[in-house]
A and B are shown apart, each in its own frame.
Chain A
Amino acid sequence: MIKSELVNRLADQYPHLYQRDVERVVNTILDEITEALGRGDRVELRGFGAFSAKIRPPRIGRNPRTGEAVAVAEKCVPFFKAGKDLRDRLNNEGS
Chain B
Amino acid sequence: MSNKTLTRADLSEAVYNEIGLSRVESSEIVEAVLDEVSTALVGGEEVKLSSFGTFSVRQKSGRIGRNPKTGEEVPITPRRVLSFRASHVMKDRINEAFKKLISK
Chain A interfacial positions (CB closer than 8 Å to B) = 1-3, 6, 9-10, 13-14, 17, 21-22, 24-26, 28-30, 32-49, 53, 55, 74-80, 82, 86-87, 89-91, 93-95
Contacts and interface: CB of A to CB of B under 8 A. Distances in A.
Contacts of A6: 33, 36-37, 40, 47, 49
Interface of B: 1-8, 10-11, 14-15, 18-19, 21, 29-30, 32-34, 36-38, 40-53, 55, 57, 79-84, 86, 90-91, 93-98, 101-102
A73 B30 CA distance: 36
Contacts of B80: 90-91
A70 to B, nearest CB: 17
A42 to B, nearest CB: 5
B86 to A, nearest CB: 4
A13 B101 CA distance: 40
Contacts of A37: 90, 94
B4 A41 contact: yes
Contacts of A90: 41-42, 57, 79-82
Contacts of A44: 5-7
B18 A30 contact: no
Given A25-B15, A28-B15, A87-B82, A43 B6 contact: yes
Contact of B18 (A28, A49, A74): A28
A92 B20 CA distance: 38
Contacts of B79: 90-91
A10 B52 CA distance: 18
B97 A32 contact: no
Interface centre among B49, B79, B83 (most CB of A within 10 A): B49
